[in-house]
Structure 1
Amino acid sequence: MKPTNGQQIISLFEQWAPKSLAVEGDSIGLQIGTLNKPVTKVLVTLDVNQKVVDEAINTQCELIIAHHPPIYRSLKNMRTDLPQGSLIEKLIKHDIAVYAAHTNLDIASGGVNDLLADSLQLKNVQILEKTASERLMKLAVFTPTESTEQVRVALGNVGAGEIGDYTNCSFTSVGEGRFKPSEDAEPYIGQANKLSIVKEDKLEVIFPISIKNRVLKALLSSHPYEEPAYDLFQLDLEVNEKGLGRIGELPEPVTLADYAKTVKDQLQVPFVRVVGDLNNKVQKVAVLGGDGNKYIHTSKRAGADVFITGDLYFHVAQDAEAINLAVIDPGHHIEQIMKTGVADYMKKLCKNKNLFVEFIPSKISTEPFQLL
Structure 2
Amino acid sequence: MVEARVEMVAPRHLRDAVVAAVRAAHPYEEPAFDVLELAAWSGSTGSGRVGRLPAATTLAAFARHVAAAVPGTVQGVRFAGDPAGRVERVAVLGGSGDSFFDQVRAAGVDVYVTADLRHHPASEQRERALFDARGGAATPYLVDLAHFASEWPWLTHGASALEADLVALGTTVETRVSTRRTDPWTGRVAGPADAPA
What band does the TM-score fall into relative to the shorter chain? 0.5 to 0.7
Q: Give the RMSD, CA atoms, in angstroms.
A: 2.6
Residue of 68, 79, 94 corresponding to 1:289:
94
Q: Which position in structure 1 is the counterpart of 2:144?
A: 329
Q: Counterparts of 1:40-189 in structure 2 under 5 Å?
A: 109=43
Opposite residue 337 of structure 1, the aligned amino acid is P
Counting only pairs closer than 5 Å after superposition, residues 1-372 of structure 1 correspond to structure 2 as: 109=43, 243-270=46-73, 271-324=76-129, 325-333=140-148, 334-372=150-188
Contact 1:248–1:286, Cα closer than 8 Å, also in 2: yes
Segments ≥4 residues shifted beyond 3 Å: 107-110
| Helix, strand or coil at the partner of 1:253 | strand
Q: Distance in 2 between matches of 1:371 and 1:244?
A: 30
Q: Are 2:146 and 2:183, in contact at CA under 8 Å, matched by a contact in 1? A: no
**How far does residue 108 in structure 1 lie from its aligned partner after superposition?**
7.5
CA distance in 1 between counterparts of 2:164 and 2:146 reads 30
Question: Partner amino acid for 1:358?
Answer: E
Change (3 A) 1:243 1:350: closer
Q: Does the 8 Å contact 1:275/1:327 carry over to 2?
A: yes
Task: Give secondary structure in 1 for the equivalent of 2:179.
Answer: coil
CA distance in 1, matches of 2:63, 2:77: 7
Classify the secondary structure of the residue corresponding to 1:295.
helix
Aligned residues: 139
Which structure 1 segments of 5+ residues have no match? 1-21, 25-103, 111-241
Counterpart residue identity of residue 49, structure 2: R
1:269 Cα offset (Å): 3.0
Shift of 1:353: 3.0
Contact 1:269 1:330 in 2 (8 A): no
Instruction: State TM-score, norm by structure 2.
Output: 0.62
Structure label with greater radius of gyration: 1
**5+ residue gaps in structure 2?**
1-8, 12-38, 130-139, 189-197
**Residue 358 of structure 1: CA displacement?**
2.6
Residue 371 of structure 1, CA deviation: 4.0
- C-alpha change, 1:310 and 1:366, in structure 2 (3 Å) is same
The Cα shift of 1:257 comes to 0.1
Report the CA distance shift for 1:266/1:353 in structure 2 as closer, same or farther (over 3 A). Answer: same
CA distance in 2, matches of 1:339, 1:248: 19
- Aligned-residue sequence identity (percent) comes to 30
